[in-house]
Structure 1
Amino acid sequence: MNIATIFGIIAGIFVLCAATFAATDSVQVFLNGPGLAIVLGGTIAATFICYPLREVMRVMGLFVSAFRAEELPIGDYIRDIVTISKTVSKKGEEHLEKSLKSMENEFLRDGLQMLLDGYSKQELEEILNNRIQQYHEQESNAAGIYRTMAALSPAFGIIGTLIGLIAMMQTMGDDITRIGPAMATALTTTLYGALFANMIYTPIATKVERRVEERTILMCVIRDGILFIKDKTPAPIVMDKLKGYLPPSKWSSIGAR
Protein backbone atom coordinates (compact mmCIF):
# COMPACT_ATOMS: atom_id res chain seq x y z
CA MET A 1 0.00 0.00 0.00
CA ASN A 2 1.07 3.57 -0.65
CA ILE A 3 1.64 4.94 2.87
CA ALA A 4 1.67 8.60 1.80
CA THR A 5 -1.70 8.27 0.04
CA ILE A 6 -3.33 6.47 2.97
CA PHE A 7 -1.90 8.98 5.45
CA GLY A 8 -3.11 11.92 3.36
CA ILE A 9 -6.64 10.56 3.13
CA ILE A 10 -6.84 9.76 6.86
CA ALA A 11 -5.41 13.16 7.80
CA GLY A 12 -7.81 14.95 5.44
CA ILE A 13 -10.84 13.11 6.81
CA PHE A 14 -9.73 13.77 10.39
CA VAL A 15 -9.25 17.51 9.81
CA LEU A 16 -12.59 17.83 8.02
CA CYS A 17 -14.44 15.90 10.72
CA ALA A 18 -12.81 17.89 13.50
CA ALA A 19 -13.66 21.18 11.80
CA THR A 20 -17.23 20.02 11.20
CA PHE A 21 -17.84 19.02 14.81
CA ALA A 22 -16.26 22.27 16.01
CA ALA A 23 -18.33 24.43 13.68
CA THR A 24 -21.81 23.12 14.46
CA ASP A 25 -23.80 21.08 16.93
CA SER A 26 -25.82 19.46 14.17
CA VAL A 27 -23.52 17.39 11.96
CA GLN A 28 -26.51 16.07 10.02
CA VAL A 29 -26.77 19.40 8.21
CA PHE A 30 -23.71 18.36 6.19
CA LEU A 31 -25.44 15.22 4.94
CA ASN A 32 -27.25 15.86 1.67
CA GLY A 33 -28.04 12.79 -0.43
CA PRO A 34 -29.55 14.61 -3.43
CA GLY A 35 -26.64 17.07 -3.47
CA LEU A 36 -24.12 14.24 -3.43
CA ALA A 37 -25.96 12.55 -6.30
CA ILE A 38 -25.91 15.77 -8.33
CA VAL A 39 -22.17 16.27 -7.87
CA LEU A 40 -21.07 12.68 -8.46
CA GLY A 41 -23.62 11.82 -11.12
CA GLY A 42 -23.22 15.09 -12.99
CA THR A 43 -19.42 14.93 -12.97
CA ILE A 44 -19.34 11.34 -14.22
CA ALA A 45 -21.98 12.01 -16.88
CA ALA A 46 -20.16 15.08 -18.18
CA THR A 47 -16.88 13.15 -18.24
CA PHE A 48 -18.48 10.46 -20.41
CA ILE A 49 -19.61 13.21 -22.76
CA CYS A 50 -16.09 14.67 -22.97
CA TYR A 51 -14.14 11.42 -23.49
CA PRO A 52 -14.65 8.02 -25.14
CA LEU A 53 -16.13 5.28 -22.96
CA ARG A 54 -13.03 3.08 -23.18
CA GLU A 55 -10.71 5.84 -21.91
CA VAL A 56 -12.98 6.77 -19.02
CA MET A 57 -13.38 3.16 -17.87
CA ARG A 58 -9.62 2.59 -18.02
CA VAL A 59 -8.95 5.75 -16.04
CA MET A 60 -11.42 4.76 -13.34
CA GLY A 61 -9.12 1.84 -12.55
CA LEU A 62 -6.30 4.27 -11.74
CA PHE A 63 -8.17 5.26 -8.58
CA VAL A 64 -7.41 1.84 -7.08
CA SER A 65 -3.79 1.90 -8.30
CA ALA A 66 -3.27 5.19 -6.46
CA PHE A 67 -3.33 3.24 -3.19
CA ARG A 68 -0.58 0.87 -4.30
CA ALA A 69 3.03 1.50 -3.36
CA GLU A 70 5.07 1.86 -6.51
CA GLU A 71 8.68 2.99 -6.64
CA LEU A 72 10.45 2.31 -9.89
CA PRO A 73 13.94 0.90 -9.20
CA ILE A 74 15.76 2.89 -11.87
CA GLY A 75 19.09 2.19 -10.18
CA ASP A 76 18.46 -1.57 -10.43
CA TYR A 77 17.73 -1.25 -14.14
CA ILE A 78 20.95 0.70 -14.66
CA ARG A 79 22.91 -2.10 -12.97
CA ASP A 80 21.14 -4.69 -15.10
CA ILE A 81 21.90 -2.79 -18.31
CA VAL A 82 25.56 -2.45 -17.32
CA THR A 83 25.68 -6.20 -16.63
CA ILE A 84 24.13 -6.89 -20.03
CA SER A 85 26.67 -4.57 -21.64
CA LYS A 86 29.51 -6.54 -20.01
CA THR A 87 27.98 -9.83 -21.14
CA VAL A 88 27.63 -8.67 -24.73
CA SER A 89 31.17 -7.32 -24.87
CA LYS A 90 32.61 -10.60 -23.56
CA LYS A 91 30.35 -13.30 -25.02
CA GLY A 92 28.43 -11.60 -27.83
CA GLU A 93 24.77 -10.75 -28.38
CA GLU A 94 23.67 -14.36 -28.87
CA HIS A 95 24.05 -15.02 -25.11
CA LEU A 96 21.20 -12.60 -24.43
CA GLU A 97 18.52 -14.73 -26.04
CA LYS A 98 18.25 -17.17 -23.13
CA SER A 99 17.73 -14.41 -20.56
CA LEU A 100 15.07 -12.51 -22.51
CA LYS A 101 12.17 -14.68 -21.39
CA SER A 102 12.90 -14.03 -17.72
CA MET A 103 12.79 -10.24 -18.11
CA GLU A 104 9.60 -8.75 -16.66
CA ASN A 105 9.93 -5.30 -18.24
CA GLU A 106 8.30 -5.55 -21.67
CA PHE A 107 9.99 -2.42 -23.01
CA LEU A 108 13.45 -3.74 -22.12
CA ARG A 109 12.67 -7.20 -23.45
CA ASP A 110 11.36 -5.91 -26.78
CA GLY A 111 14.29 -3.53 -27.19
CA LEU A 112 16.85 -6.26 -26.62
CA GLN A 113 14.93 -8.57 -28.95
CA MET A 114 15.13 -5.96 -31.70
CA LEU A 115 18.83 -5.65 -30.94
CA LEU A 116 19.24 -9.40 -31.45
CA ASP A 117 17.17 -9.26 -34.64
CA GLY A 118 19.75 -6.98 -36.19
CA TYR A 119 17.96 -3.63 -36.26
CA SER A 120 20.24 -0.71 -37.03
CA LYS A 121 20.93 1.93 -34.38
CA GLN A 122 18.79 4.46 -36.25
CA GLU A 123 15.87 2.02 -36.47
CA LEU A 124 16.18 1.12 -32.77
CA GLU A 125 16.25 4.76 -31.74
CA GLU A 126 13.27 5.64 -33.91
CA ILE A 127 11.11 2.74 -32.69
CA LEU A 128 11.97 3.20 -29.01
CA ASN A 129 11.46 6.97 -29.14
CA ASN A 130 8.08 6.46 -30.78
CA ARG A 131 6.99 4.01 -28.05
CA ILE A 132 8.11 6.39 -25.31
CA GLN A 133 6.21 9.25 -26.90
CA GLN A 134 3.04 7.18 -27.36
CA TYR A 135 3.16 5.95 -23.77
CA HIS A 136 3.68 9.46 -22.41
CA GLU A 137 0.82 10.91 -24.44
CA GLN A 138 -1.66 8.14 -23.62
CA GLU A 139 -0.95 8.11 -19.89
CA SER A 140 -0.94 11.91 -19.71
CA ASN A 141 -4.44 11.82 -21.20
CA ALA A 142 -5.50 9.72 -18.21
CA ALA A 143 -4.34 12.45 -15.85
CA GLY A 144 -6.13 14.97 -18.05
CA ILE A 145 -9.43 13.17 -17.48
CA TYR A 146 -9.05 13.57 -13.71
CA ARG A 147 -8.17 17.22 -14.25
CA THR A 148 -11.40 17.58 -16.20
CA MET A 149 -13.36 15.94 -13.38
CA ALA A 150 -11.72 18.32 -10.90
CA ALA A 151 -12.94 21.26 -13.01
CA LEU A 152 -16.46 19.85 -13.45
CA SER A 153 -17.09 18.88 -9.82
CA PRO A 154 -17.30 22.43 -8.36
CA ALA A 155 -19.50 23.47 -11.29
CA PHE A 156 -22.03 20.77 -10.49
CA GLY A 157 -21.77 21.74 -6.83
CA ILE A 158 -22.94 25.22 -7.80
CA ILE A 159 -25.70 23.74 -9.96
CA GLY A 160 -26.91 21.70 -6.98
CA THR A 161 -26.84 24.78 -4.80
CA LEU A 162 -28.91 26.72 -7.34
CA ILE A 163 -31.44 23.91 -7.46
CA GLY A 164 -31.68 23.97 -3.67
CA LEU A 165 -32.07 27.76 -3.62
CA ILE A 166 -34.85 27.63 -6.20
CA ALA A 167 -36.67 25.03 -4.14
CA MET A 168 -36.15 27.18 -1.04
CA MET A 169 -37.58 30.27 -2.73
CA GLN A 170 -40.78 28.41 -3.50
CA THR A 171 -41.42 27.75 0.20
CA MET A 172 -40.40 31.13 1.60
CA GLY A 173 -43.98 32.36 1.90
CA ASP A 174 -45.11 29.34 3.90
CA ASP A 175 -42.66 29.30 6.81
CA ILE A 176 -39.77 31.72 7.11
CA THR A 177 -38.10 29.58 9.77
CA ARG A 178 -37.31 26.98 7.09
CA ILE A 179 -35.06 29.37 5.16
CA GLY A 180 -31.97 28.79 7.33
CA PRO A 181 -31.97 24.97 7.21
CA ALA A 182 -32.87 24.98 3.53
CA MET A 183 -30.02 27.38 2.74
CA ALA A 184 -27.58 25.19 4.67
CA THR A 185 -28.70 22.11 2.77
CA ALA A 186 -28.32 23.91 -0.55
CA LEU A 187 -24.79 25.08 0.25
CA THR A 188 -23.59 21.59 1.14
CA THR A 189 -23.69 20.74 -2.57
CA THR A 190 -21.08 23.40 -3.27
CA LEU A 191 -19.06 21.93 -0.41
CA TYR A 192 -19.24 18.47 -1.99
CA GLY A 193 -18.09 19.81 -5.34
CA ALA A 194 -15.04 21.57 -3.88
CA LEU A 195 -14.25 18.63 -1.64
CA PHE A 196 -14.23 16.02 -4.40
CA ALA A 197 -12.21 18.30 -6.68
CA ASN A 198 -9.47 19.05 -4.16
CA MET A 199 -9.39 15.86 -2.10
CA ILE A 200 -9.82 13.22 -4.81
CA TYR A 201 -9.63 14.27 -8.45
CA THR A 202 -6.72 16.74 -8.35
CA PRO A 203 -4.49 14.61 -6.07
CA ILE A 204 -5.06 11.54 -8.24
CA ALA A 205 -4.25 13.53 -11.39
CA THR A 206 -1.04 14.76 -9.79
CA LYS A 207 -0.10 11.25 -8.71
CA VAL A 208 -0.75 9.85 -12.20
CA GLU A 209 1.34 12.62 -13.79
CA ARG A 210 4.21 11.89 -11.40
CA ARG A 211 4.15 8.17 -12.19
CA VAL A 212 4.06 8.88 -15.91
CA GLU A 213 7.17 11.04 -15.58
CA GLU A 214 8.96 8.36 -13.54
CA ARG A 215 8.13 5.63 -16.04
CA THR A 216 9.13 7.86 -18.93
CA ILE A 217 12.54 8.42 -17.30
CA LEU A 218 12.91 4.65 -16.85
CA MET A 219 12.06 4.05 -20.51
CA CYS A 220 14.65 6.67 -21.51
CA VAL A 221 17.25 4.86 -19.38
CA ILE A 222 16.41 1.57 -21.12
CA ARG A 223 16.47 3.19 -24.56
CA ASP A 224 19.88 4.77 -24.02
CA GLY A 225 21.21 1.54 -22.53
CA ILE A 226 20.13 -0.49 -25.55
CA LEU A 227 21.70 2.04 -27.91
CA PHE A 228 24.95 1.94 -25.89
CA ILE A 229 24.94 -1.84 -26.12
CA LYS A 230 24.39 -1.57 -29.87
CA ASP A 231 27.44 0.71 -30.12
CA LYS A 232 29.42 -1.69 -27.90
CA THR A 233 30.12 1.14 -25.47
CA PRO A 234 32.37 0.06 -22.56
CA ALA A 235 30.42 -0.79 -19.41
CA PRO A 236 32.02 1.94 -17.21
CA ILE A 237 30.98 4.60 -19.72
CA VAL A 238 27.47 3.14 -19.86
CA MET A 239 27.26 3.35 -16.08
CA ASP A 240 28.47 6.96 -15.92
CA LYS A 241 26.11 8.13 -18.66
CA LEU A 242 23.02 6.40 -17.28
CA LYS A 243 23.70 7.69 -13.75
CA GLY A 244 22.86 11.13 -15.10
CA TYR A 245 19.16 10.17 -14.95
CA LEU A 246 19.37 9.85 -11.17
CA PRO A 247 19.84 12.57 -8.54
CA PRO A 248 23.42 12.73 -7.22
CA SER A 249 22.26 11.45 -3.82
CA LYS A 250 21.48 8.05 -5.39
CA TRP A 251 24.66 7.60 -7.40
CA SER A 252 26.41 5.74 -4.60
CA SER A 253 23.52 3.26 -4.28
CA ILE A 254 24.17 1.91 -7.78
CA GLY A 255 27.53 0.52 -6.77
CA ALA A 256 30.87 0.37 -8.45
CA ARG A 257 31.24 0.43 -12.20
Structure 2
Amino acid sequence: MDILSLLGVIVGFAALIGGNFIEGGSWQALVNGPAALIVLGGTLGAAMLQTPMVQLKRALAIFPWVFNPPRPQFEQGLQRLVRWAVAARKEGLLGLENMAEKEPDGFARKGLQLLVDGSESEAIRRVLETDMIVGEQRDLDAAKFYESMGGYSPTIGIIGAVMGLIHVMRNLADPSELGPGIAVAFVATIYGVALANLFLLPVANKIKTCILDQSQYRELMIEGIIAIAEGENPRTIEMKLDGYLR
Protein backbone atom coordinates (compact mmCIF):
# COMPACT_ATOMS: atom_id res chain seq x y z
CA MET A 1 0.00 0.00 0.00
CA ASP A 2 1.31 3.42 -0.97
CA ILE A 3 0.48 5.47 2.13
CA LEU A 4 1.41 8.73 0.41
CA SER A 5 -1.25 8.26 -2.28
CA LEU A 6 -3.91 7.44 0.31
CA LEU A 7 -2.93 10.45 2.41
CA GLY A 8 -2.99 12.66 -0.68
CA VAL A 9 -6.62 11.76 -1.41
CA ILE A 10 -7.64 12.21 2.23
CA VAL A 11 -5.81 15.52 2.68
CA GLY A 12 -7.14 16.95 -0.58
CA PHE A 13 -10.80 16.26 0.07
CA ALA A 14 -10.48 17.00 3.80
CA ALA A 15 -9.12 20.45 2.93
CA LEU A 16 -12.10 21.05 0.65
CA ILE A 17 -14.67 20.00 3.24
CA GLY A 18 -12.77 21.66 6.09
CA GLY A 19 -12.56 24.97 4.24
CA ASN A 20 -16.28 24.88 3.61
CA PHE A 21 -16.91 24.19 7.30
CA ILE A 22 -14.65 27.05 8.43
CA GLU A 23 -16.55 29.44 6.18
CA GLY A 24 -19.73 28.50 8.02
CA GLY A 25 -21.05 25.86 5.65
CA SER A 26 -21.86 22.24 6.34
CA TRP A 27 -20.85 19.04 4.58
CA GLN A 28 -24.49 18.51 3.62
CA ALA A 29 -24.23 21.60 1.43
CA LEU A 30 -21.72 19.75 -0.75
CA VAL A 31 -23.91 16.68 -1.19
CA ASN A 32 -26.13 16.88 -4.23
CA GLY A 33 -27.30 13.80 -6.11
CA PRO A 34 -28.25 15.43 -9.43
CA ALA A 35 -24.94 17.30 -9.59
CA ALA A 36 -22.99 14.12 -8.89
CA LEU A 37 -24.94 12.25 -11.57
CA ILE A 38 -24.29 14.95 -14.16
CA VAL A 39 -20.56 15.23 -13.47
CA LEU A 40 -19.71 11.57 -12.88
CA GLY A 41 -21.95 10.20 -15.61
CA GLY A 42 -21.04 12.83 -18.17
CA THR A 43 -17.30 12.55 -17.49
CA LEU A 44 -17.31 8.77 -17.63
CA GLY A 45 -19.41 8.73 -20.79
CA ALA A 46 -17.16 11.19 -22.61
CA ALA A 47 -14.01 9.26 -21.66
CA MET A 48 -15.57 5.95 -22.70
CA LEU A 49 -16.57 7.42 -26.04
CA GLN A 50 -12.97 8.23 -26.96
CA THR A 51 -11.34 5.09 -25.48
CA PRO A 52 -11.07 1.74 -27.32
CA MET A 53 -12.19 -1.29 -25.33
CA VAL A 54 -8.67 -2.71 -25.11
CA GLN A 55 -7.35 0.51 -23.56
CA LEU A 56 -10.32 0.73 -21.20
CA LYS A 57 -9.70 -2.79 -19.89
CA ARG A 58 -6.02 -2.01 -19.42
CA ALA A 59 -6.85 1.27 -17.67
CA LEU A 60 -9.06 -0.56 -15.17
CA ALA A 61 -6.39 -3.24 -14.70
CA ILE A 62 -3.64 -0.75 -13.80
CA PHE A 63 -5.76 1.50 -11.57
CA PRO A 64 -4.62 -0.39 -8.41
CA TRP A 65 -1.10 0.90 -9.14
CA VAL A 66 -2.21 4.22 -7.65
CA PHE A 67 -2.40 2.74 -4.15
CA ASN A 68 -0.33 -0.41 -4.62
CA PRO A 69 2.30 0.46 -7.24
CA PRO A 70 4.63 -2.16 -8.69
CA ARG A 71 8.07 -1.51 -7.26
CA PRO A 72 10.86 -2.67 -9.57
CA GLN A 73 13.72 -4.07 -7.47
CA PHE A 74 16.68 -2.45 -9.18
CA GLU A 75 19.27 -3.79 -6.76
CA GLN A 76 17.94 -7.34 -6.95
CA GLY A 77 17.78 -7.09 -10.73
CA LEU A 78 21.42 -5.99 -10.88
CA GLN A 79 22.48 -8.85 -8.63
CA ARG A 80 20.64 -11.33 -10.86
CA LEU A 81 22.44 -9.91 -13.90
CA VAL A 82 25.79 -10.36 -12.15
CA ARG A 83 24.93 -13.97 -11.30
CA TRP A 84 23.97 -14.62 -14.91
CA ALA A 85 27.23 -13.04 -16.10
CA VAL A 86 29.24 -15.24 -13.73
CA ALA A 87 27.38 -18.35 -14.89
CA ALA A 88 27.89 -17.41 -18.55
CA ARG A 89 31.65 -17.03 -18.04
CA LYS A 90 31.94 -20.34 -16.22
CA GLU A 91 29.56 -22.53 -18.21
CA GLY A 92 28.96 -20.58 -21.42
CA LEU A 93 25.66 -19.09 -22.56
CA LEU A 94 24.02 -22.50 -22.61
CA GLY A 95 24.53 -22.59 -18.86
CA LEU A 96 21.81 -19.95 -18.59
CA GLU A 97 19.11 -22.25 -19.92
CA ASN A 98 18.03 -23.54 -16.51
CA MET A 99 18.03 -20.00 -15.13
CA ALA A 100 15.85 -18.85 -18.01
CA GLU A 101 13.29 -21.55 -17.27
CA LYS A 102 13.07 -20.52 -13.61
CA GLU A 103 13.05 -16.74 -14.19
CA PRO A 104 9.65 -15.31 -13.07
CA ASP A 105 10.00 -12.02 -14.97
CA GLY A 106 8.78 -12.60 -18.53
CA PHE A 107 10.87 -9.75 -19.94
CA ALA A 108 14.12 -11.02 -18.40
CA ARG A 109 13.22 -14.58 -19.37
CA LYS A 110 12.90 -13.55 -23.00
CA GLY A 111 16.32 -11.91 -22.86
CA LEU A 112 17.92 -14.98 -21.31
CA GLN A 113 16.32 -17.23 -23.91
CA LEU A 114 17.75 -15.04 -26.66
CA LEU A 115 21.17 -15.40 -25.04
CA VAL A 116 20.81 -19.17 -24.86
CA ASP A 117 19.77 -19.27 -28.51
CA GLY A 118 23.01 -17.52 -29.45
CA SER A 119 21.45 -14.35 -30.85
CA GLU A 120 23.72 -11.44 -31.70
CA SER A 121 23.78 -8.55 -29.22
CA GLU A 122 22.16 -6.10 -31.67
CA ALA A 123 19.38 -8.56 -32.41
CA ILE A 124 18.77 -9.02 -28.70
CA ARG A 125 18.64 -5.25 -28.21
CA ARG A 126 16.13 -4.78 -31.05
CA VAL A 127 13.83 -7.49 -29.71
CA LEU A 128 13.90 -6.33 -26.10
CA GLU A 129 13.65 -2.62 -26.89
CA THR A 130 10.67 -3.26 -29.14
CA ASP A 131 9.01 -5.23 -26.37
CA MET A 132 9.75 -2.47 -23.85
CA ILE A 133 8.52 0.37 -26.10
CA VAL A 134 5.31 -1.42 -27.07
CA GLY A 135 4.51 -2.29 -23.45
CA GLU A 136 5.25 1.24 -22.27
CA GLN A 137 3.09 2.81 -24.98
CA ARG A 138 0.22 0.42 -24.22
CA ASP A 139 0.22 1.45 -20.57
CA LEU A 140 0.63 5.16 -21.34
CA ASP A 141 -2.37 4.97 -23.67
CA ALA A 142 -4.34 3.33 -20.86
CA ALA A 143 -3.32 6.10 -18.44
CA LYS A 144 -4.79 8.64 -20.89
CA PHE A 145 -8.24 7.35 -19.91
CA TYR A 146 -7.89 9.02 -16.50
CA GLU A 147 -6.16 12.03 -18.00
CA SER A 148 -9.05 12.53 -20.41
CA MET A 149 -11.56 12.24 -17.57
CA GLY A 150 -9.62 14.93 -15.74
CA GLY A 151 -9.91 17.13 -18.82
CA TYR A 152 -13.63 16.59 -19.32
CA SER A 153 -14.71 16.78 -15.67
CA PRO A 154 -14.49 20.60 -15.18
CA THR A 155 -16.34 21.19 -18.45
CA ILE A 156 -19.09 18.76 -17.48
CA GLY A 157 -19.28 20.61 -14.16
CA ILE A 158 -19.90 23.84 -16.05
CA ILE A 159 -22.63 22.12 -18.08
CA GLY A 160 -24.21 21.05 -14.79
CA ALA A 161 -24.01 24.62 -13.54
CA VAL A 162 -25.73 25.94 -16.68
CA MET A 163 -28.45 23.29 -16.35
CA GLY A 164 -29.02 24.35 -12.76
CA LEU A 165 -29.29 28.00 -13.74
CA ILE A 166 -31.75 27.12 -16.50
CA HIS A 167 -33.84 25.37 -13.85
CA VAL A 168 -33.65 28.49 -11.68
CA MET A 169 -34.67 30.83 -14.50
CA ARG A 170 -37.67 28.70 -15.35
CA ASN A 171 -38.91 28.82 -11.77
CA LEU A 172 -38.36 32.44 -10.79
CA ALA A 173 -42.04 32.71 -9.92
CA ASP A 174 -41.73 29.83 -7.42
CA PRO A 175 -39.20 30.67 -4.70
CA SER A 176 -39.30 27.11 -3.35
CA GLU A 177 -37.67 25.87 -6.55
CA LEU A 178 -34.83 28.39 -6.58
CA GLY A 179 -32.75 26.80 -3.84
CA PRO A 180 -32.34 23.31 -5.39
CA GLY A 181 -31.56 24.79 -8.81
CA ILE A 182 -28.88 27.11 -7.46
CA ALA A 183 -27.42 24.26 -5.40
CA VAL A 184 -27.07 22.05 -8.46
CA ALA A 185 -25.46 24.93 -10.37
CA PHE A 186 -22.70 25.65 -7.87
CA VAL A 187 -22.13 22.14 -6.52
CA ALA A 188 -21.78 20.69 -10.02
CA THR A 189 -18.95 23.12 -10.71
CA ILE A 190 -17.22 22.15 -7.46
CA TYR A 191 -17.60 18.44 -8.27
CA GLY A 192 -16.15 18.86 -11.75
CA VAL A 193 -13.11 20.89 -10.76
CA ALA A 194 -12.40 18.97 -7.55
CA LEU A 195 -12.73 15.55 -9.19
CA ALA A 196 -10.29 16.54 -11.92
CA ASN A 197 -7.64 18.23 -9.79
CA LEU A 198 -7.84 16.23 -6.58
CA PHE A 199 -8.22 12.76 -8.07
CA LEU A 200 -8.29 12.08 -11.81
CA LEU A 201 -5.26 14.05 -12.99
CA PRO A 202 -3.13 12.91 -10.01
CA VAL A 203 -4.18 9.30 -10.73
CA ALA A 204 -3.06 9.63 -14.35
CA ASN A 205 0.28 11.12 -13.34
CA LYS A 206 0.88 8.47 -10.66
CA ILE A 207 0.27 5.68 -13.17
CA LYS A 208 2.65 7.36 -15.63
CA THR A 209 5.33 7.44 -12.93
CA CYS A 210 4.86 3.70 -12.35
CA ILE A 211 5.14 3.04 -16.09
CA LEU A 212 8.37 5.02 -16.38
CA ASP A 213 9.83 3.19 -13.37
CA GLN A 214 9.11 -0.14 -15.03
CA SER A 215 10.65 1.04 -18.30
CA GLN A 216 13.80 2.14 -16.49
CA TYR A 217 14.05 -1.27 -14.85
CA ARG A 218 13.72 -2.91 -18.24
CA GLU A 219 16.46 -0.65 -19.59
CA LEU A 220 18.67 -2.00 -16.79
CA MET A 221 17.88 -5.56 -17.85
CA ILE A 222 18.53 -4.79 -21.52
CA GLU A 223 21.93 -3.22 -20.86
CA GLY A 224 22.90 -6.07 -18.56
CA ILE A 225 21.84 -8.81 -20.96
CA ILE A 226 23.64 -7.11 -23.85
CA ALA A 227 26.78 -6.87 -21.72
CA ILE A 228 26.57 -10.59 -21.00
CA ALA A 229 26.12 -11.32 -24.70
CA GLU A 230 29.29 -9.32 -25.43
CA GLY A 231 31.23 -11.25 -22.79
CA GLU A 232 31.91 -8.38 -20.40
CA ASN A 233 33.37 -9.07 -16.98
CA PRO A 234 30.69 -9.45 -14.24
CA ARG A 235 32.42 -6.83 -12.11
CA THR A 236 32.47 -4.40 -15.04
CA ILE A 237 28.77 -5.01 -15.63
CA GLU A 238 27.99 -4.28 -11.99
CA MET A 239 29.97 -1.04 -12.03
CA LYS A 240 28.46 0.09 -15.36
CA LEU A 241 24.88 -0.47 -14.21
CA ASP A 242 25.34 0.83 -10.67
CA GLY A 243 23.84 4.17 -11.74
CA TYR A 244 20.39 2.57 -12.06
CA LEU A 245 20.26 1.82 -8.33
CA ARG A 246 18.11 4.05 -6.10
TM-score by length of 2: 0.94
Deviation digits for residues 159-200 of structure 1, max 9, x if unmatched? 11110000010011232x754553233110010001110121
Q: How does 1:92-171 map to 2 (within 5 A)?
A: 92-171=92-171
Match of 2:217 in 1: 218
> Which letter maps to 2:109?
R
Instruction: Give the conservation status (yes or no) of the 8 Å contact 2:161–2:188.
Output: yes
Q: 1:63 Cα deviation (Å)?
A: 2.5
Q: 1:26 Cα deviation (Å)?
A: 4.0
Match of 1:241 in 2: 240
Instruction: Give the conservation status (yes or no) of the 8 Å contact 2:160–2:184.
Output: no
Deviation digits for residues 41-89 of structure 1, max 9, x if unmatched? 1111111111112211321233333111532111110111011101111
1:70 match: secondary structure:
coil
Deviates more, 1:61-70 or 1:35-44: 61-70
- Unpaired segments ≥5 residues, structure 1: 251-257
How far, CA to CA, are the matches of 1:108 and 1:124 in structure 2?
11
Structure 1 pair 50–65 and aligned structure 2 pair: CA distance change class (3 A)? same
How far, CA to CA, are the matches of 2:19 and 2:88 in structure 1?
63
Deviates more, 1:177-186 or 1:11-20: 177-186
How far, CA to CA, are the matches of 1:168 and 1:230 in structure 2?
73
TM-score by length of 1: 0.90
Deviates more, 1:220-229 or 1:89-98: 89-98
Instruction: Give the conservation status (yes or no) of the 8 Å contact 1:78–1:239.
Output: yes
How far, CA to CA, are the matches of 1:44 and 1:37 in structure 2?
10
Match of 1:254 in 2: none
How far, CA to CA, are the matches of 2:99 and 2:125 in structure 1?
22
Match of 2:182 in 1: 183
Instruction: Give the conservation status (yes or no) of the 8 Å contact 1:225–1:238.
Output: yes
For the aligned residue pairs, the C-alpha RMSD in angstroms reads: 1.6
Q: Percent identity?
A: 29
Q: How does 1:51-130 map to 2 (within 5 A)?
A: 51-130=51-130
Match of 1:174 in 2: 174
- Unpaired segments ≥5 residues, structure 2: none
Match of 2:202 in 1: 203
Instruction: Give the conservation status (yes or no) of the 8 Å contact 1:161–1:190.
Output: yes
Residue 36 in structure 1 maps to residue 6 in structure 2? no
Q: 1:125 Cα deviation (Å)?
A: 1.2
